[in-house]
Amino acid sequence: MKLNELTISELRRLLDDREVKPGEVLDDIYNRIDAVDDKVKSYITITKDVAYEMAKDAEQAILSNKASLLTGIPVAVKDNMCTKDISTTCASKILHNFKPPYESTVTARLKEQGYILTGKTNLDEFAMGSSTENSGFHTTRNPWDLERVPGGSSGGSAAAVAADECIAALGSDTGGSIRQPAALCGVVGLKPTYGRVSRYGLVAFASSLDQIGPITKNVADAAIMLNAIAGHDPSDSTSAPMDVPDFANVLGHDIKGLKIGIPKEYFIEGMDKDIEDSVRTAIKKLESLGAIPVEVSLPHTGYAVATYYILATSEASSNLARYDGVKYGFRVDGKDLLDMYMNTRAQGFGSEVKRRIMLGTYALSAGYYEAYYKKGQQVRTLIKQDFDNAFKNVDVIVTPTSPSAAFKIGEKATDPLQMYLSDIFTISVNLAGVPAISIPCGFTRDNLPVGLQIIGKHFDEESIFKIAYAYEQSTEWHLRRPQL
Amino acid sequence: MMKYEAVIGLEVHAQMLTDTKMFCGCSTRFGSEPNTQTCPVCIGMPGVLPVMNKKALEFTIKTGLATNCKISPYSRFARKNYFYPDLPKGYQISQYELPICEGGYIEIVLDGEAKRIGITRIHMEEDAGKNIHEGSGPYSFVDLNRAGIPLMEIVSEPDIRSPKEAAEYMKKLRTILRYLGVCDGNMEQGSLRCDANVSIRPVGQKEYGTRAEVKNINSFKFVEKAMEYEIKRQIKVVEEGGRVIQETRLWDSNKGITESMRGKEEAHDYRYFPEPDLVPIAADKEWIDEIRSTLPELPDAKRERFISGYGIPEYDADLLTEEKVRAEWFEDAVKAGGKPKIVANWIITNIFKRLKEEDKEINETLLKPKHLVSLLSLIDAGSTSSTMAKTIILDEIFKSGKMPEDIVKEKGLVQISDAGEIEKAIDEILAKSQKEVERYKSGDEKLIGFFVGQIMKATKGKANPQMVNELLKKKLS
Ligand SMILES: [Zn+2]
């Protein structure tokens, strides 16, 4: 077995026992990248030199018995998280030459834990999309079927994990951007509670919804990654000033008697039969492990997508105003200031980003603010209340992650509305700010992975981990690997 | 002929005297090299986040308390969106729907009559940078040192009815800000800025007229002038059958007029919405009480106390309490033994004159309260004349900071109050001036001045003038 195919826990043992060296792990990683990334295209930037430098430090730490959680573990980072002096593009032409002079809090924390950066992964431009087809550079392929999308926007990270081009990865999730690609690529993806992980250094798409989380090969690795990155950060006022539990502690706990809510609004007419079957079977599995399924209702689910696309685009229209060609990044000169602004933004942004800037600008405009943005905020409150009410009776809520498995490249690219519906099961979670994981729970008849979403209460990632781990231990979906 | 009254509301921006910026740790020092006081946060780089400066919040609450505002227990920041090169994020973090302070007032006194000017709201925001237009190239330069400096926006009700009231309001507000130590109040340097909403209406009419916003009033002395001009302009427009249009006008201090900015900044839609990067501000009652307990004695209270406690005239009390340092200087001098009325009078006449000449505040010179007190006691004891005190001695104190008694000794300025010595000098002069003595005796009494002058000259100005007068008259009678 190649070292790049192992998990964090497996490698941790091998590294700590000095059976392998960080450099050897890296060799396997980069051999794999050399072999498959032409096809999969997970990465925008490969940071090989930096990685081998970091590997030296890791080796030193291990030799002096100072290994931490991630010492010597190769991790890929979505290219919308700032890495000091390393290109951070957001898959946008407008930042094609941007090298931040600062480090994001998450990567700084990974560094403290000794990680090795393999490279920066592809995404839909500014994390806006569900397929990576909106990347300003290239489309990432699904390792299970290269004709299909890996999902998005963290498609590069999910594909890299699925294709063993890294051991684990970071993604960001605004409306499903970790969970949906994790589901489509057959890996584990966790969106933590809003405020659990610092957003400092994450290039903002929609500040009130964005959250960074891990994409990994199994649940235990997700817990380790969250342990590394979670916790209050004085540089992010929206990060929660709360103590963080050791998430690995709950793995292996009995789930007998835990109540799992099944929201009736998520099992709807016209849903992909294979997906529904896999998810229903998974719920039966959980029941057999002692969990108690309870039907719950999230009555405002039907408004979630519309609400999301008003609020997220409103914030985006403002967050993306700074890319004006004045201070950094891409610039196209013009005959005057306005001309320079317009040329720069017209040529620097892709069409989906422009579409969302326009939508958001419209929703915030005088005369429309009340009808759109304000109304959206009110519905968001109702959606939050839906979850609060449901969680009075259950410990977690279980749903499909995505209404369909990986779709063909180009299939939805020309129909933004169809594309927006890819996130129909994940979006409410961001609006409510609660945590959720996607874990592999089966395959369609086309041999495409299916994801099970487990949603928890605010700051109760522990229940999610407990149930996800119990399920994973009693199934073998997560062990399947794509043939490349 | 129709009589009109003006309706004026002022929007004042005050730069706060915090050490660091509103949302990052950069210094707020004035006058550094362009773009040396910047960081990823205040230049709007991707992915960075603002963190509120708690001192700025404290300063704003302080100002709210000092102007009788209610402090909101729940307040939040909002984004004001517009594109401009000096605005690095493409939006300014400000407050919109839920400002931190609301519903206060400031009292002004005009021609002996007190009047309350309502404060609609006070909110926090960050300053923009500066565009610098230099050289002949097609480019302008951007300096972001100022970007992110904490500002308070203090919005008045449209309660102001004349340019004089506007000026008085600004003066009072400035005094309060300086008492609190939250703003240096320097309009010329731009740390205090004033925009005015001005309209007119026929006296007796309840409805407001259409207002024009006057911007760029960049000096204290222009507040009144700009208002006067704008009111006259609007009256003229109406009387000539026209209508005032809602617009932004810039005060041009060289021409002494306001000019329409037409087209330049018309119809902005700022698309305000709550700032998602900052959590709402919950200022708890205990903290607000703590801030309240640190408020200094405010100018109105001090003025009252000076009048009733020291018995000084209202006019003197007004001038002394206008600046906290003056009031403190005055009280120090009184504590050191000076008589309040005389000390006040000396400050307002002799000392103010010099401060004006040197363009300094009272605490910025070598003259300390102890100097004045000892100077006054020298005059009292007749050891020096008040003329001498006001001129040579005061000069020397300002120059060297030496004590008056030392100056008197060193310069040999001790007053001659010995009757014998003075009489001797008188006799000598009278003997030399027989003709004048005769003219005086035949009725030309103006000549007394001539004799005094001669005697003072002979004694090098040291003779006690009162004694010279008395003794001279005795001799001549
Ligand atoms: Zn700064």
* The amino acid at B112: G
For residue range B179-203, list pLDDT tens digits in order: 999 999 999 889 999 999 999 999 9
> B276 vs A238: CB contact, 8 Å cut-off?
yes
Cβ atoms of A55 and A22 closer than 8 Å:
yes
Cβ atoms of A209 and A194 closer than 8 Å:
yes
Domains and CATH numbers, chain B: 4-290 (no CATH), 299-410 (no CATH), 419-476 (1.10.10.410)
Catalytic residue among A153, A157, A317, A438: A153
Does residue B223 or residue A271 have the better pLDDT?
A: B223
Cβ atoms of A440 and A188 closer than 8 Å:
yes
> A237 vs B40: CB contact, 8 Å cut-off?
no
Q: State the pLDDT at residue A66.
A: 96
Question: Mean pLDDT across chain B, nearest whole number?
Answer: 92
Asked casually if ipTM beats, i.e. exceeds, 0.90, the reply is yes
For residue B338, the number of C-alpha atoms closer than 13 Å in the C-beta half-sphere is 27
**Residue A293 host element (H or E):** strand A292-296
Give the residue from B273, B275, B278, B281 with the most A CB atoms within 10 Å of its CB, the best one to mutate: B273
Measured between CB atoms, does B148 come within 8 Å of chain A?
no
Q: Decide the pairing of beta strands B141-143 and B150-156.
A: unpaired
Q: Distance from CA of residue B214 to its chain's centroid?
A: 21
3-state secondary structure (DSSP) of residue B72: coil
In a domain, A302, yes or no: no
> B49 vs A322: CB contact, 8 Å cut-off?
no
In a domain, A376, yes or no: no
Judging contacts by C-beta atoms under 8 Å, the chain A residues touching residue B44 are: 322, 327
Residue B266 has pLDDT above 60, yes or no: no
Rounded alpha-carbon distances, angstroms, from residue A126 to A175, A319, A402, B361: 13, 10, 21, 55
* The amino acid at A117: L
Judging contacts by C-beta atoms under 8 Å, the chain B residues touching residue A234 are: 51
Distance separating alpha carbons of residues B458 and B452, to the nearest angstrom: 10
Ligand 1 center to residue B20 CA distance, Å? 8
Residue B409 has pLDDT above 90, yes or no: no
User: What pTM value is reported for the model?
Assistant: 0.91
Q: State the pLDDT at residue B476.
A: 82
Residue B267 has pLDDT above 70, yes or no: no
Residue B215 neighbours by CB under 8 Å, 6+ apart? B195, B248, B249, B250, B251, B261
Q: State the pLDDT at residue A92.
A: 98
For residue range A134-178, list pLDDT tens digits in order: 999 999 999 999 999 999 999 999 999 999 999 999 999 999 999
In a domain, A217, yes or no: yes
Please tell me which of the candidates A104, A207, A322 has its beta carbon nearest to residue B88.
A322
Q: Which residues pair with A246 in a beta bridge?
A: none
Residue B426 neighbours by CB under 8 Å, 6+ apart? B451, B455, B468, B471, B472, B475
Please tell me which of the candidates B46, B81, B273 has its beta carbon nearest to residue A98.
B46
Residue B159 has pLDDT above 80, yes or no: yes
A93 is known as an active-site residue: no
Q: Decide the pairing of beta strands B101-110 and A259-263.
A: unpaired
A438 is known as an active-site residue: no
Q: State the pLDDT at residue B414.
A: 74
**What is the rounded average pLDDT of the residues A327-353?**
96
> A102 vs B46: CB contact, 8 Å cut-off?
no
In a domain, A308, yes or no: no
**What is the rounded average pLDDT of the residues B10-22?**
98
B270 min Cα distance to partner chain A (Å): 8
In a domain, A208, yes or no: yes
Ligand 1 center to residue B88 CA distance, Å? 11
A78 is known as an active-site residue: yes
Residue B264 has pLDDT above 60, yes or no: no
For residue range A91-147, list pLDDT tens digits in order: 999 999 999 999 999 999 999 999 999 999 999 999 999 999 999 999 999 999 999
Residue B154 has pLDDT above 90, yes or no: yes
Please tell me which of the candidates A98, A208, A236 has its beta carbon nearest to residue B49.
A236
Measured between CB atoms, does B49 come within 8 Å of chain A?
yes
In a domain, A333, yes or no: no
For residue range B411-430, list pLDDT tens digits in order: 777 777 788 888 888 888 88
Residue B4 has pLDDT above 70, yes or no: yes
Distance separating alpha carbons of residues B230 and B10, to the nearest angstrom: 14
Neighbours of A367 (CB within 10 A): 7
User: Domain holding A218: CATH number?
Assistant: 3.90.1300.10
Residue A267 has pLDDT above 90, yes or no: no
Judging contacts by C-beta atoms under 8 Å, the chain A residues touching residue B43 are: 327
Q: A386-390, B104-108, B382-386: lowest mean pLDDT where? A: B382-386
Which residue from A minimizes the CA distance to B87?
A: A322
Range of the domain at A105: 3-257+394-479
For residue range B58-105, list pLDDT tens digits in order: 999 999 999 999 999 999 999 999 999 999 999 999 999 999 999 999
3-state secondary structure (DSSP) of residue A130: coil
Q: State the pLDDT at residue B383.
A: 78
Judging contacts by C-beta atoms under 8 Å, the chain B residues touching residue A321 are: 81, 83, 89-91
Which residue from A minimizes the CA distance to B24?
A: A235
> B49 vs A101: CB contact, 8 Å cut-off?
no
Residue A231 has pLDDT above 90, yes or no: yes
**What is the rounded average pLDDT of the residues A287-297?**
98
The model's confidence at residue B385, banded by pLDDT at 50, 70 and 90, is confident
Which residue from A minimizes the CA distance to B267?
A: A366
**What is the rounded average pLDDT of the residues A332-341?**
94
The model's confidence at residue B258, banded by pLDDT at 50, 70 and 90, is very high
Quote the number of domains for chain A. Answer: 1
Residue B263 has pLDDT above 60, yes or no: no
Q: Which residues pair with A443 in a beta bridge?
A: A449
The model's confidence at residue B135, banded by pLDDT at 50, 70 and 90, is confident
In a domain, A89, yes or no: yes
**What is the rounded average pLDDT of the residues B120-143?**
91
In a domain, A316, yes or no: no
